[in-house]
Structure 1
Amino acid sequence: MDTFPGLHEHISALSDGELAASELELAFAALDTDAGRQVWQAYRLIGDVLRDGQDGLAISTGFEARLASRLAAEAVPTPAAPSAAAAVASGAGQPGAAAIPQR
């Protein structure tokens, strides 16, 4: 459990160099705790992995092709037809509705 409000957010922003100067004191106070140091280590590791593009694990042969195939097989969402309530609210299908100006 975080003992400091926003512990993860402050430390993440600090590790990314995006923490506002006004929040540095909170981040440094959080880093002075065991939980804060653990979070700092986790975010530093995440940053290192993202910057290197390697995590030490090789992707199996054909992974990209299998992923592309599965994504291609996914159903593509289609827009829903307007509901009957929306049609009534807009006046569609009512005699003389076209003669009434809509605002």
Structure 2
Amino acid sequence: MDTHARLHENISALADGELAASELELAFAALDTPAGRQAWDAYQHIGHALRSAQRDGELSAGFEARLASRLAIETAHESEAGRVSTTPLEAGSLPQR
């Protein structure tokens, strides 16, 4: 995983209250950068939207099925250690961990 992705993952975990104590220093250092603050703001906005009881609109038709399909691919990808992504969906659309 590249450093940029790792920093964003740490900031996301910090925003969710799930960051390990051993990772706090790295996350706080990332928050001292403009990109880190922008990521923090984005994750806070996303969290607020997810927790909001009021929805601005309905999800598109088939959203739940598409999400479940992508999550299944991601789960399968993570469980196959050392496997190289070969499909465009895996290589381009899903975040690498």
Normalised by the size of structure 2, how large is the TM-score?
0.54
Unmatched 5+ residue regions in structure 1?
72-103
**Could you say which structure has the higher helix fraction?**
2
CA–CA separation in structure 1 for the residues paired with 2:5 and 2:46: 22
The answer to whether 1:29 aligns with 2:29 is: yes
One-letter code aligned to 2:24: L
For 1:25-78, what per-residue CA distance to the aligned partner results, in whole angstroms no more than 9, with x for missing partners?
A: 0000000000000000000000000011445x233xxx78xx37xx7xxxxxxx
Give the deviation of 1:7 after TM superposition: 1.3
Match of 2:14 in 1: 14
Correspondences of 1:1-103 after superposition (within 5 Å): 4=4, 6-55=6-55, 57-59=56-58, 67=61
One-letter code aligned to 2:43: Y
CA RMSD of aligned residues (A): 2.7
> Which segments of structure 1 move beyond 3 Å, counting only runs of 4 or more?
2-5
One-letter code aligned to 1:48: H
- Relative contact order, higher structure (CA 8 A, sep 6+): 2
Q: Identity percentage over the alignment?
A: 63
